[in-house]
Chains A and B, each alone.
Chain A
Amino acid sequence: MTIDELARMAAAYTERHAHAEARALMEEAGLVVEVAGSLDTGASADFLAMLRAAVPLAAAESGLVVDMGSVHYVSSTGIGALANAMLEYDKARISFRLRSVPPAVRDLFALLGLWSFFKLADPPSAPDPARAAGDGA
């Protein structure tokens, strides 16, 4: 898997799902998958497949960052896809981090009691209340 192949996979994902977009790019920080729009039941399986396909490339770089800055809706299936991806990356001992998670999406993670398990690629800022409280559930 090369970055070009992953980028093509992301473009196909965008084409297949009317309300979802993805982009794969190499940044200074390493491999980044930017996801936007809706991460719902229809898109989640393809999204997970894309993250799985990125494993070899992420292993060669310093892991994978999933940028969620433009995501405005996530269903439980979407969260399940992220959770499964994180577990698989963990198992392969490859860094898997989320970036720019919108507050509404973060609230949902917290409600499910899963927020504290995800590692973040955001620069340290003010303490995260959801983490400080040990998730909402």
Chain B
Amino acid sequence: MTEPYPRARIRGEVVRVLASSAPDSEAYPRLAAAFAAVTGAACAVAYARAAPGEARADHIGHGGRASEAERAFASALLASGEAGVPAGPPPDSPRFVYRALAPRPGEPPVYAVAVVAGEEPFGADAAAVLESGLEIVGPLLASREDRRRVERELRRSQAEMRLLFDESKDMIYACNAEDAFASVNDAGLELLGLKDRFEAIGRRFSEFTLNASDRDFFLRRIRAEGFLRDYEFVVVPRGGEPRFCIETAHQIKRADGSFAGVQGIVKDISDRIRNEKEIWKTNMELAEANAKLQATQSALVQQEKLASIGQLAAGIAHEINNPLAFLKSNWRSVETFAAAFERAWSQAAVSVGEDVLRPIAEKEDLAFAKEELPRVFEESREGLARIETIVGQLKNFARADSEGEFAPYSLEKGIESSLAVAWNEIKYVADVEKDFAGTPLIQAIGGSVNQVVLNLLVNAAQAIGSQGRKEKGRIRITTKAVAGCVSCVVADDGPGMDAAVRGRVFDPFFTTKEPGKGTGLGLSISYDIIVQKHGGTFSVRSELGKGTEFEFTLPLSPPEDLATGSAAT
């Protein structure tokens, strides 16, 4: 006879078992034993989870007085699918009592099943007891299994996270509120150039950044915004080359909401940056090369123009030189003839008498002519001499006979010839003072140096002219010989330059002149002539409101490579 069902006892046992940390192998037999004690038959308790077409009894416990054969039967029932009843309605068997637990959405149904092993069916009382018992044990079993499932998921998830942390190719780290490393993975150690975690822990992140200010800015934003995506910065590893990195991070908060630190993932994007850098660099080099090409082309055109002007001047000078020669010769003859005529007149006065000649002399105003003639002759001689000088200087300026080659050159003669060419530009705006030291002959490409001097003189005159002042300005040209060099200073008392302009005067295309008055190439070409072609120096001293001084020096002989290069061209 079955004992009355001690519901409280069963419940107490079930709760004790399920609340304990007893393993399944212990818990399920204890439950089965409790059921067996109630029914007086061998029982098995199972927790089964099943999907359609699939039966699986996860846990089976046996208890009570069942024989080995009965236990085997119960196990077989559970394992067969009949007991788990997963796919269809429960079998109409007196040996089963089961309870379907409400499945969660999307999950297979779960059953708690109690089985009485043995050939005899349950009695009605026993079945009622078991059903009632399952009402208690079923949900508790399900709850226990759910909890354990969550714990298993959590453990698996933690293991996966650990794997992600350990195996990630990107740096994963955590820093505390002082931004000192609390943890960092292997990829992070490699990025930072460290051997093990002990080297990293406690060190501040900013010790490994190119700019500490970048990390400060990052922390300010993390504190303010809580999260930061794709923040770029440069890591400088211990003993390694800087690496471009990008970081996504979030702040860690304490329970009270205060800032506890940062967790972040840092990706090394150096390869990408390197590629971008190469593209930028190539583009910039191309742009620079293009600009240089344009500057060179313009410089060549400008030099060609200057050379053409010089050659034209030389050609004109040559053309003037021939008639000048016979003009000078004839003028000397005229002077001789005039002297002869005067002598003849004096003799005639003696021979025929003053009275005879006086009316003629008065009619022709010969007295005035006689008085004026020496001055006319003198002025004409001076005029012819000036023409001769200018023609000579024009020829010297162009130096068509030795263009492009190093040859003996007098700096001071070159300055004189350049002055002659620039004189028309200068004479209305400035007086010129010359302080020549009598510099020795040097080896130079004279025509080019003359162009430099001409350029400096014209610039000085235009600078003074731009002030529109009433009185003339002053241009002072000084030469001297110093330590294997000759130098020339062209100074003006014009408006001068500020630092920004002074810093760019030798840049191609830089000009402060009005449109149409300057190409911005004069000084850059001059610089090239003095420094690149002659191995000299070129400098400027200027202050706003205090005038400007350009000084260039030329070696007595050019460096071997320059002299050879010139000869080869």
Q: Do A and B share a complex?
A: yes
B366 at the interface (CB under 8 A from A): no
Q: Which residues of B contact A87 (CB under 8 A)?
A: 283-284, 287
Main secondary structure of the interface of B (DSSP, over half): helix
Q: Is the CB of B280 within 8 A of A75?
A: no
- The reply to whether B273 and A112 form a contact with Cβ atoms under 8 Å apart is yes
Whether, in the assembled complex, B234 has its beta carbon less than 8 Å from a beta carbon of chain A, the answer is: yes
Is B277 within 8 A of A72, CB to CB?
no
From B230, B280, B281, B287, name the one whose CB has the most chain A CB atoms within 10 angstroms.
B280
Asked whether B499 lies within 8 Å of A107 as measured between CB atoms, the reply is: no
Tell me, yes or no, whether B276 is within 8 Å of chain A by CB: yes
Q: Which of B272-310 contact A (CB under 8 A)?
A: 273, 276-277, 280-281, 283-285, 287-288, 291
A38 at the interface (CB under 8 A from B): yes
Tell yes or no: B47 within 8 A of A by CB: no
Interface residue stretch chosen among A4-12, A51-59, A116-124, A126-134: A116-124
Least Cβ–Cβ distance between A66 and chain B, in angstroms: 15
Chain A proximity of B510: nearest CB distance (Å): 9
B283: chain A residues within 8 A (beta carbon)? 83, 87
Instruction: Name the B residues within 8 Å of A1 (CB-CB).
Output: none
CA of A29 to CA of B499, assembled, Å: 12
B residues less than 8 Å from A26 (CB atoms): none
User: At the interface, yes or no: B213 with Cβ under 8 Å from chain A?
Assistant: yes
Report yes or no: B214 in contact with A111, Cβ–Cβ below 8 A: no
A124, B499: Cβ atoms closer than 8 Å? yes
B538 CB within 8 Å of chain A: no
Out of A91, A107, A113, which one reaches B210, CB within 8 Å? A107
* B483 interface residue (CB < 8 Å to A): no
Report yes or no: B217 in contact with A114, Cβ–Cβ below 8 A: no
A4 to B347, CA, bound (A): 94
Bound-state Cα–Cα, A91 to B288, Å: 10
Which residues does chain B contribute within 8 Å of A72, judged by CB atoms? Answer: 213, 217
Our pick among B221, B277, B500, B503 for the contact of A113 (Cβ within 8 Å) is B277
Chain B stretch 212-227: residues in CB contact (< 8 A) with chain A? 213-214, 217, 221
Could you say which residues of chain B place their CB within 8 Å of the CB of A73? 213-214, 217
In the bound complex, CA of A111 to CA of B209 (Å): 13
Residue of B nearest to A90 (CB): B287
Which chain A positions have C-beta within 8 A of B509? Answer: 93
Inter-subunit contact A41/B276 (CB<8 Å): no
Chain A, 48-77, contact with B by CB distance < 8 Å: what is the 0/1 string?
A: 000000000000000000000000110111
Collect the chain B residues with CB atoms within 8 Å of residue A80's CB: 276, 280
A16 at the interface (CB under 8 A from B): no
**In which size bucket is the chain A interface?**
20 to 34
Q: Which residues of B contact A79 (CB under 8 A)?
A: 280
Q: Binary interface profile of B, 249-276, with partner A (CB < 8 Å = 1, else 0)? A: 0000000000000000000000001001
Across the interface, do A112 and B232 meet the contact criterion of CB distance under 8 Å?
Answer: no
Given A73-B217, A90-B287, A83 and B499 touching (CB < 8 A)? no
User: Is there contact, CB below 8 Å, between B284 and A83?
Assistant: yes
Q: A104 on the interface (CB 8 Å rule)?
A: yes
Alpha-carbon distance A40/B502, docked complex (angstroms):
35
Contact with B along A18-44 (1 / 0, CB 8 A): 010000000001000000001011000
Using known A-B contacts A75-B232, A111-B210, A111-B242, determine if residue A91 contacts B287 with beta carbons closer than 8 Å.
yes
Q: A73-B213, A108-B210, A124-B499 are in contact. Are A114 and B287 (CB under 8 A)?
A: no
In the complex, are the beta carbons of B210 and A112 less than 8 A apart?
no
The distance in angstroms between the C-alpha atoms of A91 and B214, with both chains bound, is 33
**A98 close to B (CB within 8 Å):** no
A134–chain B nearest beta-carbon distance, Å:
12
How far does the alpha carbon of A87 sit from the alpha carbon of B503 in the complex, in Å?
A: 22
A66–B291 Cα distance when bound, in Å, is: 21
Q: Which residue of B232, B277, B287 is within 8 Å of A40 (Cβ)?
A: B232
Q: State in angstroms the CA–CA spacing of A112 and B276 once bound together.
A: 10
A124 and B211 contacting across the interface, CB-CB below 8 Å: no
Q: Are B284 and A86 in contact (CB under 8 A)?
A: yes
Out of A107, A114, A121, name the residue touching B277 (CB < 8 Å). A114
Docked pose: A58 CA to B115 CA in angstroms: 92
Is A113 a contact partner of B232 (Cβ separation < 8 A)?
Answer: no
Contact: B244 with A123, CB < 8 Å? Answer: no
Q: Which residue of A lies closest to B236 (CB)?
A: A111
CB distance from A40 to the nearest CB of B (A): 7
Which residues of B lie under 8 Å from residue A111 when comparing CB positions? 210, 234, 242
Q: Give the contacting residue for A76; candidates B242, B276, B288; CB below 8 A.
A: B276
Nearest 4 CB-CB pairings of A with B: A75-B232, A104-B211, A117-B284, A123-B499
A-B CB contact pairs (8 Å), 15 listed: A40-B231, A72-B213, A72-B217, A75-B232, A76-B276, A77-B232, A83-B280, A83-B284, A87-B284, A90-B287, A104-B210, A108-B211, A113-B281, A117-B284, A124-B499
User: Given A73-B213, A87-B283, A111-B242, 11 other A-B contacts at CB below 8 A?
Assistant: A76-B232, A91-B287, A104-B210, A104-B211, A104-B214, A107-B211, A108-B234, A112-B277, A113-B281, A114-B277, A121-B500
Which residues of B approach A to under 8 Å, CB–CB? 210-211, 213-214, 217, 221, 230-232, 234, 242, 244, 273, 276-277, 280-281, 283-285, 287-288, 291, 499-500, 502-503, 509
